[in-house]
Amino acid sequence: MLDTHTHAWGAASDEHPWVNGPILDLVDGFDVHTVYTADRLLADMDRNGVDEAVVVGYPICDWTDNWYTMRAAAEYDRLYGIVMLDPFADDAADQLRRCMDTDGVLGFRLGAACPYDQMWETFDPSVTWLRDAIAETEFWEAAVQTDATVQILCDHSQLDQALELVDAYPELTFLFDHFAHAGPETPTDEGTFAQFADLAAYDGVAVKVSEIPHMSDSQFPYDDMHDHVRWFLDTFGRERVIWGSDFPNVSDVATYPESYNWLRHVDSVSAKDCEWITGESFRRHVGLD
């Protein structure tokens, strides 16, 4: 089992201060230690039969301070890393190359659902800077050259912007997080969410059934989101549907076992489907096999 969406972070220090107030408020509500290190993550993985995990950059420090994510990926054979980068920075391409030179770093994440001037502090689906980022060709050329995976958190109402990006750089590998913030009331076959069908036409696009305890309005096994899972499977095939827990971000409402055992309760999802969704799909999609 490979958990494609976890977080870990180190203690605050003079060199790496904790500066993100909204994240600090969230951490206080987690059912884990406030300083959730890679060692603590690995211990939770061992208790729950999770073999490997991807540590996604956690913006408790400045959001482009990737020190802990890079260290975790480099030091632990069972952990990979996804960093966070500013594509508009003057040295963005060089930063990307440096990160991708680190063992275990697979790519970077863009917070397209966040206002650019409040990155990872709040969400606003009306922002459009992802469309502007398409023009940062030097950055995207570096992404192609380093074979960086592009992980995107956007709202389903922003999928038109994401489609423009994928169309501009179809040779890249893309992952879309957290059901694109769709909730149970979001229709799958019409409106903004249905644009995932257009994205499915690109072989380099996969979707993540991640953070489901927060997307759902119900308790485990979150059956009000199961139609969205089935639609993803019908649209992308199990080879491009990928599970991630978002642990410990979901620890305010769910246990680690609840964050993956819900899959077994989705009607028409077979045990073989679950094997793919919880490991093989990601490996193949990002080229780990």
pLDDT at 113: 98
What is the chain's alpha carbon radius of gyration, rounded to the nearest angstrom?
A: 18
Three-state SS for 56? strand
Q: Characterize 57-73 residue by residue with b for buried, 16 or more Cβ atoms within 10 angstroms of its Cβ, and e for exposed.
A: bbbbbbbbbbbbbbbbb
Domain ranges of the chain: 2-286
pLDDT at 289: 76
pLDDT in tens, 141-157: 999 999 999 999 999 99
Sign of CA dihedral 234, 239, 245, 246: negative
Question: Which among 248, 162, 164 has a CA at the least distance from the CA of 207?
Answer: 162
**Where on the phi/psi map is residue 44: left (φ > 0), alpha (ψ -120 to 50), or beta?**
alpha
Decide: 171 and 206 in contact? Cβ < 8 Å: no
- CATH architecture label of 2-286: Alpha-Beta Barrel (3.20)
pLDDT in tens, 94-149: 999 999 999 999 999 999 999 999 999 999 999 999 999 999 999 999 999 999 99
Neighbours of 236 (CB within 10 A): 19
- Quote the CA–CA distance of 269 and 275 in Å, as a whole number: 10
**Element containing residue 83 per DSSP (H, E):** strand 79-84
pLDDT at 281: 98
Supply 238's token pair: 């199990």
Ranges in the chain, pLDDT < 70? none
What is the value of pTM for the model shown?
A: 0.97
